[in-house]
Structure 1
């Protein structure tokens, strides 16, 4: 079971349907390459560019086209491979480096953000799926968390639209935060350590955390990155808890999808790599290779999500959904701000 996501990927790729998957895989791969090019040369967020480019080429992967199978494979199996490989970046040393107080603050902020998401969604007339999806993305690790959580949620007619919206909104808000939060920190008078805790605890995506932290100082950047990796490490337990809860409550009994598995294989793979890395079993070269493959797999998966989504459906997103994500972002920022003051 530990190798489940990797075995499934290998079996699928080596099977006779490789030829059927090739057009869609090639399309999503080219989109990912274009997104990375735009990111490296123009500073645009690679995740956001991959989603937008995918949306632009949606007509190429309509139902019945040659690309359909490969796009679906990218959005599901490649995604799970990317999430599993994220574990190679995490080790238990993170918990020791930050200390108990920071660990408590981050766990409390994550729990409170997801909890209040249900209340906010109810007040705004949004569904529980969107509450979990956006709350997890905001509190854990942005687009990566959205993709992982979406993989275990029961599917309905709004699944692709909600995922595209969540990836787009958290990436956009992360980019705005990368610009605005360092300015706010200077006004608040935080030292480098406090600045790192605030940035790492509030900004949704890893790349924007790094950009914001090192724009202040090396010390702030290192602390921010470490805090952010702590949030990423909580992805596995949160997805596991959500999976168990949905399985016990049978939330998918009247939905279009099947009941999510009790323990998703890709989360087991994630946890196994965290443990292996913590025990020193993964050489540096393996960690770096896994991180690169994970990043590219995420870009390919987000491209596939974009390709599968009709742009006109995004225009149907209710204003309440936008308000929901903004309120979640403001909530976690306020929570981490007061928590940082408490730590001192």
Structure 2
């Protein structure tokens, strides 16, 4: 694709992302959700010959670049500092939720890929995980629309959790460390984890963020596993399309950045800057995806995906609370 051909659509997605950022800051709402909704309002432009190449570029290449840069937010020392119990709870919750999503999809007679996508999004890091996992799934008729619905669902549920989970933690009598594990281990998106944690205290906010980053670190093995499954035709989705690479380039970059960050090669200021670039890439990508999707198309997917995400959200919260209860005993 010629760079000039991609410019109009990419700039349109950037403009929507800037507007979404303003609204998110003004009304204290989730930036990705605003970007998605604003993008969908411009769905009429999706088939524009002038904008289409740039929208495709933003929704794929910019997306993968943003996911790769998420690696600057994670360091090995952060994971080690958590200790064994929180790590075990997080691993069990992530693996269990993905398996639960797969099982729900089978029970509801939906493609297995949909259960893995929603389960992975709920289990790992919400909208960012949904976009990363979607990038390695085979291209099917409804795959992109389902990804958008997943982004809407997990972002909405994450915001609801941010509001109510701190109260639940208080009602259950969780101490600061336990509350951090609960919030960081069960809320989908990083921003909402931070918000919920600091609603209780700075100590809980910092701890919840570390727990959440451990979940984010599991993005790589999960996406590699999914890429392997669908590359070899074991995903059970029945979708036809180009097989994804066994190790996508953006995941290689993600792992490399985690390693460099862990080794202290990346200065803190640079890491923060790259983290901001990552955030903006994801916002631009989701804006472009929004432009390409209509509400009518989303509605055609039915109620089952929403039910799956709600059930997965309740499941991961129950697993994390169960782990905390076991650790108490």
Consecutive unaligned residues of structure 1, counting only runs of 5 or more, are 1-11
What are the equivalent positions in structure 2 for 1:168-179 lying under 5 Å apart? 168-179=152-163
Q: Following the alignment from structure 2 to structure 1, what is the Cα–Cα distance between the partners of residues 61 and 246?
A: 18
Task: Determine the structure 1 residue equivalent to 2:4.
Answer: 19
Q: Following the alignment from structure 2 to structure 1, what is the Cα–Cα distance between the partners of residues 223 and 237?
A: 19
Task: Determine the structure 2 residue equivalent to 1:9.
Answer: none
Could you give the per-residue CA deviations for residues 166-203 of structure 1, whole angstroms, max 9, x where no partner exists? 00000000000000111111111101110010000000
Change beyond 3 A, Cα 1:255–1:122: closer
What are the equivalent positions in structure 2 for 1:1-344 lying under 5 Å apart? 17-62=2-47, 64-249=48-233, 251=235, 255-344=239-328
Deviation at 1:41, TM superposition (A): 1.1
Could you give the per-residue CA deviations for residues 204-227 of structure 1, whole angstroms, max 9, x where no partner exists? 000000000000011111110110
Taking structure 1 as the reference length, the TM-score comes to 0.93
Deviation at 1:317, TM superposition (A): 2.6
Q: Following the alignment from structure 1 to structure 2, what is the Cα–Cα distance between the partners of residues 136 and 251?
A: 14
Taking structure 2 as the reference length, the TM-score comes to 0.97
Q: Following the alignment from structure 1 to structure 2, what is the Cα–Cα distance between the partners of residues 163 and 178?
A: 22
Could you give the per-residue CA deviations for residues 242-279 of structure 1, whole angstroms, max 9, x where no partner exists? 11222233659964320110100000000000000001
* 8 Å contact kept, 2:111–2:238: no
Q: Following the alignment from structure 1 to structure 2, what is the Cα–Cα distance between the partners of residues 254 and 171?
A: 27
* 8 Å contact kept, 1:133–1:146: yes
Q: Following the alignment from structure 1 to structure 2, what is the Cα–Cα distance between the partners of residues 291 and 229?
A: 13
Number of aligned residue pairs:
328
Change beyond 3 A, Cα 1:106–1:248: same
* 8 Å contact kept, 2:79–2:210: no
Matched residue SS, 2:232: helix
Consecutive unaligned residues of structure 2, counting only runs of 5 or more, are none
Q: Following the alignment from structure 1 to structure 2, what is the Cα–Cα distance between the partners of residues 315 and 206?
A: 27
Q: Following the alignment from structure 1 to structure 2, what is the Cα–Cα distance between the partners of residues 244 and 176?
A: 34
C-alpha RMSD of the superposition: 1.4
* 8 Å contact kept, 2:231–2:246: yes
Q: Following the alignment from structure 1 to structure 2, what is the Cα–Cα distance between the partners of residues 144 and 78?
A: 13
